[in-house]
Every structure is written in C-alpha cells, then in structure tokens.
A = this chain, B = another copy of it.
Amino acid sequence: MGHDALKQSVWQANMRLVEAGLVVLTFGNASGVDRRAGVMAIKPSGVEYETLRPDDIVVLTLDGGGVVEGGLNPSSDAPTHLVLYRAFESIGGVVHTHSTYATAWAQAGREIPCFGTTHADLLHGPVPLTRPLTPDETAGDYETETGNVIVERFRRGDLNPDHFPCVLAAHHGPFTWGATPGEAVEHAIILEQLAAMALRTLAINPDAAPISPSLLDKHFLRKHGPDAYYGQKR
C-alpha cells in the first residue's frame, strides 16, 4: 500500500550518488515520479545519507506539491524537481548535485562544449546553461524559478529533454534526468566525467575545437533512437 516501490528506487538512487562520490555531506538529491499515481518521491531535506532509510523518502503530489507520505520535510529543491516533471513529460527521475567539475562550469557561466565521444554518447550538443535568475526571481519562489529558467532554456533553444538529459543552473550546479531515478544518476556520473575531461582539454589546448557534426551524430545515434546498436537490447 502506498508508494513503496517508488520510495525504494528513489532511496537507491540517492545512495548511489554517495557511492559515486558526487555528493559531500547532504548536498544533492534524487527523485522519481509515478505519473499514473500523480506523485513524486524525493529525499528529505538535510538528512545524512548514512542514516537515510527508504521510509524517510517523502512523497508529494505532482500537481500541488503537498506531502502525501513521510514525516520529514522534503528537499528544499523539491519545487525545482516538480517543475521539471511537469514540463518534461517523458522523464521518470531527476538528480541534483554539486559535483565539483560540473559545478565549476556552472559557476564559470560556460556551456560545456562537446569535445569528444564520451560527451556525444550522452547528449546531442553542448551541455546547456540557464541564464542567471533576476533579483526578483531569487527573492520570490526561488526553487520554482530555478525550474522555470531550466524549462525556459530548453524552450528557447528548442532542445528535446530526451536528447539533452542535463543542464547547468547558472552559479549553482547540474541537474540531470532520465527514464528512471537510476538512469538520472548514471547521467550525473557521466556529466561529471565529461565536465572534468572538458576542463582538462582546455588546459592542454585552449583552442580545442568541438567534434564534427558527423561524429556527434554518429555517437549519439548509436546509443539513442531507432537505429541504436550499442548495448544488448535498445
């Protein structure tokens, strides 16, 4: 009864973030959605990972954000996750971290150029970056506005969230998503890798060029879409 399977998968995703070294202390959160039930499950706010249990996961309604299961406050970033689930209808999991290399790009105010195939395997172009929030947006419903500028960036760039499963929130850090909470975690791991590689690429050659459109298409499409041939069954 209730949302045990969803809470279990969200709990596992949060624990895997720690194992992957993407979070320190309580910085970071993973969520999942059950669209049929109309709910989102997310990590509680500020709880240490070592004591986190599946039953601590908080369940909210997808439309209103009211708590329907759980005795703890949801992550303060919950409103951002809700905006993403509402706008990007195909996604089933969202992850937010302050992983160091991806966050450095967000702080530097730079999109991450696609310098190689590790990047092209994950997304179909540069890692997008939001505009900074205005003072009014920051002072208002800050976490909701953080979601709004992400959606705005995708609308403005005509970006498909299935082809671009990540974004950098300016001066803040990365958000990633996927079909499941587990896939969102994997995307967070890959994003951190390609962010580190891109920084090092520029350290070796400040004039390094992005990969060609043909190689970008090849790698992205061998993993995604109708003609994908990577893996066992996609």
Given A25-B186, A205-B109, check contact A230 B200 (CB 8 Å): no
Q: Do the beta carbons of B215 and A116 come within 8 Å of each other?
A: no
Q: Which residues of B contact A222 (CB under 8 A)?
A: 76, 142
Interface-central residue, A142, A202, A215, by most chain B CB under 10 Å: A215
Q: Which residues of B contact A190 (CB under 8 A)?
A: 24-25
Q: Please, which residue of chain B has its CB at the minimum distance from the CB of A215?
A: B138
Chain B CB within 8 A of A203 CB: yes
Q: Do the beta carbons of B118 and A98 come within 8 Å of each other?
A: yes
Residue interface bits A190-234, CB-to-B below 8 A is 1, else 0: 100100111111111100110110110010001000000111100
Interface positions, chain A 167-189, Cβ under 8 Å from B, are 171-173, 186, 189
Residue interface bits A123-167, CB-to-B below 8 A is 1, else 0: 000000000110100110010000000000000000000000000
Residue interface bits A94-111, CB-to-B below 8 A is 1, else 0: 000010110111111110
A105–B186 Cα gap in the complex (Å)? 24
Q: Do the beta carbons of B173 and A229 come within 8 Å of each other?
A: no
Binds B, one of A6-14, A41-49, A60-68, A82-90: A41-49
A201–B110 Cα gap in the complex (Å)? 10
Instruction: Determine how close the nearest CB of chain B comes to the CB of A95; give it in whole angstroms.
Output: 14
Partner of A203, one of B109, B197, B199: B199
Q: Which residues of B contact A201 (CB under 8 A)?
A: 104, 107-108
Q: Do the beta carbons of A138 and B218 come within 8 Å of each other?
A: yes
Given A189-B25, A218-B142, check contact A230 B76 (CB 8 Å): yes
Q: Do the beta carbons of B232 and A76 come within 8 Å of each other?
A: no
A37–B115 Cα gap in the complex (Å)? 40
Give the 4 A-B CB pairs with smallest separation, nearest first: A46-B231, A104-B200, A108-B205, A108-B204
Known: A100-B196, A108-B205, A171-B212. 20 other contacts (CB 8 A): A24-B190, A45-B232, A46-B230, A46-B231, A46-B232, A98-B197, A100-B200, A103-B197, A106-B116, A107-B197, A107-B201, A110-B205, A117-B171, A132-B215, A135-B212, A135-B214, A138-B212, A142-B218, A171-B211, A199-B203
Of the A-B pairs whose beta carbons lie under 8 Å apart in the complex, a sample of 6, sorted by A's number, is A25-B186, A98-B118, A103-B116, A107-B198, A116-B171, A142-B218
